């Protein structure tokens, strides 16, 4: 197509010059006949005609070149063939500009998509200088997305594992980097080579995954330990009864201890099943209502039985009269009962445990358990609701706790839209409270 256009343009220019030479020759010949030099003037006329046409073409070509140096300006108004050339060039320029605009829009969309990705993306040239990076990558690596461009990445990022990984050149597997900056603690980095030595660096925040893996390993280890201990005791007692001749008193004592260990295992399994059921169930609906006063009376009865007169128990539940609570009754009983039983277990004999329900101005309420027990040091408070976490493991086992109670309480209250709050001071006791939202509390008259 281009060859065809060039051939047509060349033929047209040659033809135009031949015609102008012929016209100039004829005019010169006619003038030569009159002056007596027909041949000389014919050649002179032809040459002048061709020169004039060439000069005109050159001027038009220069005008076209001036426009091409600034194609954003309006094209020149040229007659004939040069006008056609200018028109076609202008159409090509418009098409090129449209293609460039379209590609820029596609590039902007692509970069915008990368920006909303939870993973960081960074582009490096063949010398590991930063060509481009997303805002997430800038946050992951502690960089500035504008001022750090064209800087060598290893001069700015000093994570040893990342620097070694980038220098090694073996990118078949990702590398994990330990980061100590805010909530970001662990990061995984993938590098892929493309083009002529260019590198695509993809970073991913795996802090939650690492924390979950740690919790899972700790959970498995704790469950194994908690179950292994009573099993070891039971196995020892069974072996003792099978190999030794025991008196009736000794036999009863062994059976009593075996019963205690079996009960401990049953309690542990029950708590594990409760926790698994709570975590795997959907959020409780708000259309199931039960009497709050009846639940608190049942918790009071269980607390009095557990204390067996060894503590001063006080239940202030006047505000709960006539109120209903929505959700899953067994979960509410488990959460509230856990707080009361913990307070009784960890309060020395003769101490006081005060349980109360306080209605709030917004329509919600607060279930509060206050004791005069041993208290909890501040450094332990953030971890109290972790599974199997114990401030004092030996003392917890002496009181019969499984280490899962407060974890169950936290999951129950969160599922019902509330919050667990803990305040404590060593030697002065603790206060555990469940804040219940207004959507979960209403007057019994509305039932």
Q: What is the residue extent of each domain of the chain?
A: 2-106, 118-205, 211-278, 284-446
What pLDDT score was predicted for residue 23?
54
Question: Distance between terminal CA atoms of the chain?
Answer: 86
Q: Are 406 and 338 in contact (CB under 8 A)?
A: yes
Place of tokens 């924390």: 211
**pTM to 2 decimal places:** 0.52
Classify 284-446 by CATH class: alpha beta
Q: Tell me the residue length of the chain.
A: 447
Among the listed residues 398, 406, 436, the one whose alpha carbon sits nearest the alpha carbon of residue 422: 406
Among the listed residues 150, 193, 187, the one whose alpha carbon sits nearest the alpha carbon of residue 171: 193
CATH of domain 211-278: 1.10.287.130
Could you confirm whether domain 118-205 is CATH 3.40.1280.10?
Answer: no
Please list the rounded mean pLDDT of every run of 10 residues in the chain (447 residues). Answer: 48 54 51 53 53 62 69 65 70 81 80 82 93 90 89 90 90 88 83 91 88 74 72 81 80 84 79 74 79 92 91 91 90 91 90 93 92 87 76 52 78 89 90 92 70
What pLDDT score was predicted for residue 15?
54
CA–CA separation, 12 and 84 (whole Å): 13
Place of tokens 């003769």: 350
What pLDDT score was predicted for residue 33?
53
The reply to whether 284-446 shares the fold of 211-278 is no
DSSP annotation of 76 reads P
Q: Which region holds residue 281: left if phi is over 0, alpha if psi is between -120 and 50, else beta?
A: beta
Q: Are 338 and 409 in contact (CB under 8 A)?
A: yes
DSSP annotation of 117 reads S
Query: Three-class SS of residue 14?
Result: helix
What pLDDT score was predicted for residue 354?
95
């Amino acid at each position: 197509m281009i060859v065809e256009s060039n051939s047509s343009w060349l033929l047209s220019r040659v033809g135009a010059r031949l015609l102008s030479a012929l016209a100039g020759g004829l005019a010169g010949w006619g003038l030569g006949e009159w002056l007596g030099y027909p041949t000389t003037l014919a050649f002179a006329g032809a040459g002048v005609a061709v020169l004039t046409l060439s000069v005109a073409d050159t001027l038009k070509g220069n005008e076209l070149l001036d426009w091409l140096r600034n194609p954003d300006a309006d094209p020149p108004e040229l007659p004939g063939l040069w006008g056609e050339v200018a028109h076609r060039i202008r159409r090509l320029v418009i098409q090129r500009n449209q293609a460039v605009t379209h590609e820029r829009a596609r590039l902007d969309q692509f970069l915008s998509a990368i920006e909303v990705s939870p993973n960081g993306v960074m582009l490096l040239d063949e010398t590991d200088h930063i060509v481009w990076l997303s805002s997430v990558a800038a946050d992951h690596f502690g960089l500035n997305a504008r001022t750090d461009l064209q800087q060598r990445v290893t001069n700015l990022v000093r994570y040893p594992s990342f620097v070694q990984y980038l220098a090694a050149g073996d990118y078949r597997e990702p590398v994990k980097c330990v980061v100590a900056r805010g909530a970001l603690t662990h990061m995984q980095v993938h590098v892929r080579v493309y083009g002529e030595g260019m590198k695509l660096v993809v970073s991913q925040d795996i802090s939650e995954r690492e924390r979950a893996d740690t919790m899972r390993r700790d959970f498995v280890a704790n469950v194994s330990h908690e179950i292994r201990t009573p099993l070891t005791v039971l196995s020892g007692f069974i072996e003792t009864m099978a190999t030794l001749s025991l008196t009736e008193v000794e036999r009863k004592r062994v059976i009593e201890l075996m019963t205690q260990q079996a009960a401990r295992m049953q309690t542990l399994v029950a708590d594990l099943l409760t926790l698994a059921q709570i975590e795997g169930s959907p959020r409780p609906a708000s259309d199931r209502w039960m009497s709050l006063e009846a639940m608190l009376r049942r918790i009071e009865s269980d607390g009095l039985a557990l204390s067996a007169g060894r503590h001063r128990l006080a239940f202030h539940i006047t505000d709960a009269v006539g109120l209903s609570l929505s959700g899953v009754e067994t979960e509410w009983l488990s959460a509230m009962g856990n707080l009361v039983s913990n307070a009784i277990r960890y309060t020395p004999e003769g101490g006081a445990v005060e349980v109360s329900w306080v209605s709030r101005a917004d329509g919600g309420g607060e279930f509060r358990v206050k004791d005069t027990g041993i208290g909890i040091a501040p450094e332990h408070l953030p971890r109290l609701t972790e599974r199997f976490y114990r401030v004092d493991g030996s003392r917890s086992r002496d009181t019969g706790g499984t280490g899962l109670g407060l974890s169950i309480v936290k999951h129950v209250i969160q599922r019902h839209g509330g919050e667990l709050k803990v305040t404590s001071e060593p030697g002065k006791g603790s206060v555990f409270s469940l804040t219940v939202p207004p959507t979960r509390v209403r007057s019994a008259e509305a039932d």
